[in-house]
Amino acid sequence: MRTEFHQQLRALNADLARMCELAGEAVQRATLGLLTVDLEAAERVLTELEVLAALRRDVDRSALALLARQAPVASDLRAVVAAVHIASDADRMGGLAAHIARIVRRRHPDPVLPNDVVGQFSEMGSLAVDLAEDAASVIIDGDPVRASRIRDDDEAMNDMHRKLFVAVMSPQWTHGVPAAIDLVLLGRFYERFADHAVAIAARVLFRSTGDTTRDLGQ
Amino acid sequence: MRTEFHQQLRALNADLARMCELAGEAVQRATLGLLTVDLEAAERVLTELEVLAALRRDVDRSALALLARQAPVASDLRAVVAAVHIASDADRMGGLAAHIARIVRRRHPDPVLPNDVVGQFSEMGSLAVDLAEDAASVIIDGDPVRASRIRDDDEAMNDMHRKLFVAVMSPQWTHGVPAAIDLVLLGRFYERFADHAVAIAARVLFRSTGDTTRDLGQ
């Protein structure tokens, strides 16, 4: 019974890791669409997210089945409840990549980004992909090195988000209101993407203690 | 055993409803701070959210205890898992009210809102309060009238958000980039607040069927 439970839990975690990878691929493709003004890439983000949504429904169903049939307790129970939260976070990461893709689509064939911030968004995109991949890795093996990289990358993302905000708000900003608004929204989507990766890592690392109030920074 | 379970589930739902009410009070006070340039109101939002956070930890603990001790199945199990999601949504609604309060604090003693959008934000604030109160009510008794009002209020919120976006993006916008950015972010916070109320109502109404993919509009 317990062996069967742990097998099913491993399968559940493999699905969660796959969800993070799909969210990483989505934000990578959305960033490509943003940087290279590629409508097709943006459209593909939106269609491929259906796979992520389907996987989320599978995870929710598997978690309910595990709870109903195996009635886990203690750390096993917390692992299943954590899985339900992680699925929700990974799904939302995909949703944020979709928001980025929709901005690309809305402005097409015009570029969203003024030239002087292309490098900054390329960097934010790379950070987001790393965060998603590291979250996947932490789910599978709880690797503390990857977990600590998530914390560092999240801080780097917050720094870039703040700098973007300052640049756009400054009197030297010459690209007008619509561009400023697109950039602030995009910055927020990347920053929220990072927050969800942090939440996933925190859930994995602290599910054994049941303490969900701590975060990775403590 | 089953009677005890249902008693505990009712207590859990009462806590969830209270969380929605607290989120409603938070967004009401944050909106007051925004409309009347009231720093004290904004600060109070931030301190009072600690009550919401504490209640969320209680709910998460109670849900785990219910799962571990009573091992519910079928609709009882889905109700407990729904509670965990609802707690997360209500907590996030409080977080969004806090974001509104932080914008008020950042600009103080200057007002955030140009005069010509004060009415619009007053309306968005009222909608947000109604949405939180209706979500609380739906949790307690599944009232379909309240649930359908949630759907209508969410649509009204989306309309106001879209109009705000159009106004700020138009060449007639005369209040500059920083004001435009504040307004777009505020609009997004109110709109996300509404989305979470919709998610809560959908979880309550469909928890008996286990179908979490449907939304209130279908």
- pLDDT, averaged across chain A: 93
Given a cut of 50, whether residue B217 has pLDDT beyond it is no
d(CA A160, CA A173): 17
Q: What percent of chain A has pLDDT over 70?
A: 94
pLDDT at residue B2, as a whole number: 75
Asked if the Cβ–Cβ distance from B169 to A180 is below 8 Å, we say no
- What is the maximum alpha-carbon separation in chain A? 66
pLDDT at residue B66, as a whole number: 95
**Confidence grade of residue A94 (pLDDT, cut at 50, 70, 90):** very high
Query: How far is the alpha carbon of B189 from chain A, nearest alpha carbon, in Å?
Result: 11
Asked if the Cβ–Cβ distance from B169 to A188 is below 8 Å, we say no
d(CA A108, CA A42): 10
pLDDT at residue A144, as a whole number: 85
pLDDT at residue A139, as a whole number: 96
| A184 at interface of B, judged by CB pairs closer than 8 A | yes
Query: How far is the alpha carbon of A20 from chain B, nearest alpha carbon, in Å?
Result: 19
d(CA A133, CA A216): 17
| A156 at interface of B, judged by CB pairs closer than 8 A | no
B138-171 in b/e form (b: 16+ CB < 10 A) is bbeeeeeebbebbbebbebbeebbeebbebbbee
Given a cut of 80, whether residue A210 has pLDDT beyond it is no
Asked if the Cβ–Cβ distance from B177 to A173 is below 8 Å, we say yes
Lowest-pLDDT range of A52-56, A204-208, B92-96: A204-208
pLDDT digits (tens, 9 = 90+) for A24-68: 999 999 999 999 999 999 999 999 999 999 999 999 999 999 999
Asked if the Cβ–Cβ distance from A181 to B168 is below 8 Å, we say yes
Q: Which of B57, B88, B184 sits opposite A184 (nearest CB)?
A: B184
Asked if the Cβ–Cβ distance from B213 to A67 is below 8 Å, we say no
pLDDT at residue A153, as a whole number: 98
d(CA A204, CA A84): 12
Check if the beta carbon of residue B107 is closer than 8 Å to that of residue B42: no
Query: Is the N-terminal amide bond of A111 cis, ω within 30° of 0?
Result: no
**Confidence grade of residue B64 (pLDDT, cut at 50, 70, 90):** very high
Given a cut of 50, whether residue A22 has pLDDT beyond it is yes
Query: Could you count the other beta carbons within 10 Å of the beta carbon of residue A160?
Result: 19
d(CA B16, CA A82): 19
Query: Which conformational region is residue B209 in: left (phi greater than 0), alpha (psi within -120 to 50 degrees), or beta?
Result: alpha
pLDDT at residue B178, as a whole number: 93
pLDDT at residue B141, as a whole number: 92
d(CA B122, CA A138): 44
Best mutation target among B80, B175, B177, B212 (most A Cβ atoms within 10 Å) is B177
Asked if the Cβ–Cβ distance from B180 to A185 is below 8 Å, we say no
| Chain A residues inside the 8 Å CB shell of B78 | 64
pLDDT at residue B143, as a whole number: 84
Asked if the Cβ–Cβ distance from B169 to A177 is below 8 Å, we say yes
| B73 at interface of A, judged by CB pairs closer than 8 A | yes
Mean pLDDT on B168-181: 93
Asked if the Cβ–Cβ distance from B85 to A81 is below 8 Å, we say no
Contact partners, residue B65, CB within 8 Å, separation at least 6 = none
Residue window 96-115, chain A: list those with CB within 8 Å of chain B: none
Interior CA angle at A9 toward B64 and A199, to 5°? 60
Query: Is the N-terminal amide bond of B114 cis, ω within 30° of 0?
Result: no
Q: Residue A178's closest chain B neighbor by CA?
A: B169
pLDDT at residue B156, as a whole number: 98
| A71 at interface of B, judged by CB pairs closer than 8 A | yes
- What is the maximum alpha-carbon separation in chain B? 66
- Of the candidates A153, A135, A148, the one whose C-alpha atom is nearest the C-alpha of residue A216 is A148
DSSP state letter for B115 = G
| Chain A residues inside the 8 Å CB shell of B74 | 68
pLDDT at residue A163, as a whole number: 95
Q: If you search the block for the tokens 């593909």, which residue do you land on?
A: A44
d(CA B133, CA B207): 20
Interface predicted TM-score (ipTM) of this complex, two decimals: 0.92
CATH 1.20.58.220 is the classification of domain A1-215: yes
Contact partners, residue B211, CB within 8 Å, separation at least 6 = none
Asked if the Cβ–Cβ distance from A180 to B185 is below 8 Å, we say no
| B192 at interface of A, judged by CB pairs closer than 8 A | no
HSE, CB side, 13 Å, CA atoms: give it for residue B151.
11
Secondary structure class of B214 (helix, strand, coil):
coil
pLDDT at residue A211, as a whole number: 55
Can you state the angle between helices A176-206 and B144-169, rounded to 10 degrees?
Answer: 140
Query: How far is the alpha carbon of A54 from chain B, nearest alpha carbon, in Å?
Result: 10
Query: How far is the alpha carbon of A126 from chain B, nearest alpha carbon, in Å?
Result: 24
pLDDT at residue B208, as a whole number: 58
Whole-angstrom CA distances from B115 to A192, B160, B175 are 31, 16, 10
pTM of the model: 0.94
- Of the candidates A116, A214, A121, A115, the one whose C-alpha atom is nearest the C-alpha of residue A160 is A121
Q: Residue A166's closest chain B neighbor by CA?
A: B178
pLDDT digits (tens, 9 = 90+) for B96-152: 999 999 999 999 999 999 999 999 999 999 999 999 999 999 999 988 889 999 999
- Run of H or E including B78: helix B74-107
DSSP state letter for B38 = -
pLDDT at residue A93, as a whole number: 98
| A81 at interface of B, judged by CB pairs closer than 8 A | yes
Q: Which of B71, B165, B181 sits opposite A180 (nearest CB)?
A: B181
Asked if the Cβ–Cβ distance from B77 to A85 is below 8 Å, we say no
**Confidence grade of residue B206 (pLDDT, cut at 50, 70, 90):** confident
Check if the beta carbon of residue B82 is closer than 8 Å to that of residue B16: no
| A177 at interface of B, judged by CB pairs closer than 8 A | yes
| Chain B residues inside the 8 Å CB shell of A112 | none
Contact partners, residue A135, CB within 8 Å, separation at least 6 = A20, A90, A150, A197, A200, A201
Mean pLDDT on A181-192: 97
d(CA A195, CA B127): 28
pLDDT at residue A1, as a whole number: 58
Given a cut of 80, whether residue B218 has pLDDT beyond it is no
pLDDT at residue A218, as a whole number: 35
Percent helix, strand and coil across chain A, each rounded to 5? Answer: 85, 0, 15
Q: If you search the block for the tokens 């992909």, which residue do you land on?
A: A129
